[in-house]
């Protein structure tokens, strides 16, 4: 299968049921061998590897990584910071995003529409470390205000895109 040269919905339309099964299996276990992956999706190993490489080249597979447990690694605090900027010009938005990319405690940064400009998912080893981060963030250029919420527990943490049979059937 050659690299898929389309973007957006046109790219998605080029995926067949085997491609979707490959993506689903790789989401479940990124360390699966090509031989086992091929067995699970019902094709032989060489075409399976070609399909995986094509999916990687087309950008459907962005990378492979281990999911770590932040608490076991000493990051006891998980919190969200809602940030409002003084200006939303494209230059100011990009400057803020660049600033956030340099902040190790920020794990995710999303620009939002509505009352809040950005929401940040943060981890910290303890409350004083998180407070120091918030103080620095509040003093950053163009930051008007920051509101924070500490998490109490995580009720769902799914890093995967839903590719179950219902979703696969719905796009057929």
Question: Do 140 and 91 sit in the same domain of this protein?
Answer: yes
Give the domain range for residue 16. 8-65
Closest CA to 122 of 110, 113, 114, 139: 110
Strand stretches in the chain, DSSP E: 77-85, 106-111, 118-124, 143-150
Q: Clarify whether residues 57 and 81 are in a common domain.
A: no
Asked whether the predicted pLDDT for residue 62 surpasses 60, the reply is: yes
Tell which residue, 160, 151, 161, has the closest CA to residue 70.
151
The answer to whether residue 155 is domain-embedded is no
Q: Considering the entire predicted model, what is its pTM?
A: 0.80
Q: What is the CATH number of the domain that holds 105?
A: 3.30.70.920
Q: What is the mean pLDDT of residues 7-24?
A: 77
Q: Which of 29-33, 142-146, 162-166 has the lowest mean pLDDT?
A: 162-166
Helix, strand or coil, per DSSP, at residue 120: strand
Whether residue 168 is contained in a domain is answered as: no
**Chain centroid, CA 84 distance in Å:** 22
What CATH number is given to the structural domain containing 58?
1.10.10.10
Is 167 part of any domain?
no
Q: How many Å apart are CA 63 and CA 74, to the nearest integer?
A: 26
Whether 76 has a pLDDT exceeding 50, the answer reads: yes
Number of domains in the chain: 2
Q: Report the pLDDT averaged over residues 13-37.
A: 93
- Burial-class residue 48 by CB neighbours within 10 Å (0-12, 13-18, 19+): buried
Q: Is residue 47 part of a domain?
A: yes
In a domain, 161, yes or no: no
- Average pLDDT on 128-133 reads 98
CA-to-CA distance for 117 and 108, rounded, in angstroms? 14
Where b means 16+ CB within 10 Å and e means fewer, 118-153 reads bbbebbbeeeebbeebbeebeeeebbeebebeeeee
């Amino acid at each position: 299968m050659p690299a898929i040269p389309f973007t957006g919905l046109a790219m998605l339309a080029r995926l067949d049921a085997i491609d979707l099964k490959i993506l689903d299996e790789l989401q479940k276990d990124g360390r699966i061998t090509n031989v086992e992956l091929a067995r699970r999706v019902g094709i032989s190993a060489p075409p399976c590897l070609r399909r995986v490489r094509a999916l990687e080249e087309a950008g459907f597979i962005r990378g492979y990584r281990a999911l770590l447990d932040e608490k076991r690694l000493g990051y006891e605090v998980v919190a969200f910071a809602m940030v409002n900027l003084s200006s939303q010009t494209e230059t100011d938005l990009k400057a803020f995003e660049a600033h956030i990319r340099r902040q190790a405690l920020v794990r995710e940064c999303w620009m939002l529409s509505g009352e809040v400009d950005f929401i940040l998912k943060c981890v910290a080893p303890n409350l004083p470390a998180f407070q120091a981060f918030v103080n620095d963030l509040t003093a950053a250029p163009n930051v008007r205000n920051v509101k924070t919420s500490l998490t109490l527990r995580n009720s769902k943490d799914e890093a995967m895109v839903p590719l179950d049979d219902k979703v696969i059937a719905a796009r057929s």
